[in-house]
Amino acid sequence: MNLFKSEKGSFMGGVIVAILLIAVWMPARAQESGSDEAALYDQVYEATQIAALDDPLIQNGVYYTYPYYNANGHPFLGRKEFQTGTVVFRGKTYDGFSLNYDIFNQQLILSKEHNGVLQMNLLAPEFVSGFHLKGKQFSKLKVNGEAPGFFQVISECGSISCYYSLFKDRREIRDSGNRSIYSFSAEKSRRYLLLDGQLYRYKSNKTFLKVFPEECRAQIKEYMQENRILVMEADPKLMSRLTKYSDSVLNQRSKQGGERDSL
């Protein structure tokens, strides 16, 4: 779905409406009291904004300017360039947008030509529930007690899911002219399992297994050993397989427990 209306006619029509509104407001200003004048101005301003920029994605974002031109590395997901992606905005899915994800600042950026001018906007995070970009799927989750953030979806199963929180470190140095130069690290990740509505961070095979009920650990551990899985080194595909296997173990144990309870 294309949310944008970038045709020249629609934009010019909005400008004409705005001019007419201002023309009406100017003579009225002399006749209105101070409070009425402010209220009338607010109405004109709001109408102008709606007429000129009737695109919700643009209205709900702020202009973005890249601040790291002299940096070593960059703050973005994957390569620095924008790529076509999909975003879920206010519950609706929109395809074919030019997007980039600033991992360091946790900001999703939209690049769009509007009326012949290329502009970049930060998409309001409170309205974005997920997006797909550069081969990765992201969903908004809330880590225990912290503000919601975007997590890479590794695997989502019925009983358990696996997510990565991607980030980059930034280091500041001074050059010979005492100017700040930033240096960004490679992508890093904090890794989580979602079980019973709770996110658990794991940092090793041991802490991964500790998330599961005790009666499930031995079977999952055996699978990890047979497949030589190190959870902090395994690629997403392997972690997806491990998560799905772990889900099957949880379901099997749950079914067995239900059968015992019915006896």
Residues 1-31: pLDDT tens digits?
333 333 333 333 343 434 444 444 444 444 4
Q: Which pair of structure tokens corresponds to residue 204? A: 């090793």
Residue 227 has pLDDT above 60, yes or no: yes
Look at residue 158 and tell me if it is in a domain: no
Per residue in 150-161, pLDDT (tens digit) is 999 999 998 999
Q: Do 175 and 231 share a domain, yes or no? A: no
Whether the CB-CB separation of 120 and 110 falls below 8 Å is answered with yes
Record the tokens describing residue 202, joined without a space: 């794991």
CB neighbourhood size of 19 (10 A) = 12
Q: Classify residue 3: in a domain, yes or no.
A: no
146 band by pLDDT with thresholds 50, 70 and 90 = confident
Question: How many CB atoms lie under 10 A from the CB of residue 6?
Answer: 13
- Same domain? For 113 and 238 the reply is no
Q: Is residue 2 part of a domain?
A: no
| pLDDT value at residue 45 | 41
Neighbours of 250 (CB within 10 A): 20
34 and 133 in a common domain:
no
Asked if residue 157 is part of any domain, the answer here is: no
Which ranges in the chain belong to alpha helices (H)? 8-29, 34-52, 56-59, 205-210, 214-226, 236-262
Nearest partner of 159 among 229, 213, 202, judged by Cα: 213
The first and second tokens of residue 183, run together, are 């240096």
The answer to whether residues 36 and 107 belong to one domain is: no
Which pair of structure tokens corresponds to residue 32? 């209105």
Is 20 in contact with 14 (CB distance < 8 Å)? Answer: no
What would the mean pLDDT of 208-212 be, rounded to a whole number?
97
Q: Check whether residue 132 and residue 254 sit in a common domain.
A: no
Whether 66 and 191 map to the same domain: the answer is yes
Q: How many CA atoms lie within 13 A of 242 on its CB side?
A: 29
Q: 81 lies in a domain?
A: yes
Counting residues of the chain whose pLDDT is more than 70, the rounded percentage is: 74
What pLDDT sits at residue 199?
A: 92
Q: Say if 159 falls within a structural domain.
A: no
Give the N- to C-terminal CA distance of the chain in Å, as an integer. 54
Of 66-80, 110-124, 164-178, the poorest mean pLDDT is in: 110-124
**Residue 126 and residue 145: Cα distance in Å, rounded?**
17
116 in the same domain as 192:
yes
Query: What does the alpha-carbon distance between residue 137 and residue 124 come to, in Å, rounded to a whole number?
Result: 18
Residue 91, Cβ density class (10 Å: 0-12 exposed, 13-18 middle, ≥19 buried): exposed
**Alpha-carbon distance values, 117 to 112, 144, 224 (Å):** 8, 42, 53
Residue pLDDT, tens place only, 52-74? 344 555 555 688 888 888 889 99
C-alpha distances out from residue 191 to 80, 137, 143, 201, 213, Å: 24, 15, 11, 6, 19
- Identify which has the larger pLDDT, 263 or 164: 164
| Cβ–Cβ < 8 Å for 81, 74 | no
What pLDDT does 219 receive?
97
Query: What does pLDDT average to over the chain?
Result: 80
**What percentage of the chain exceeds 90 in pLDDT?**
52
Q: Are residues 39 and 115 in the same domain?
A: no
Are 29 and 114 in a shared domain?
no
Q: Are residues 67 and 50 in the same domain?
A: no
| Nearest-angstrom CA–CA distance, 111 and 262 | 58
For residue 184, tell me if it sits in a domain.
yes
User: What total of structural domains would you count in the chain?
Assistant: 3
Q: Same structural domain for residues 83 and 192?
A: yes
The segment with the largest mean pLDDT, out of 9-13, 87-91, 141-145, 217-221, is: 217-221
The boundaries of the domain holding residue 42 are 8-54
- Both 40 and 123 in one domain: the answer is no
In a domain, 160, yes or no: no
pLDDT value at 262 more than 90: no
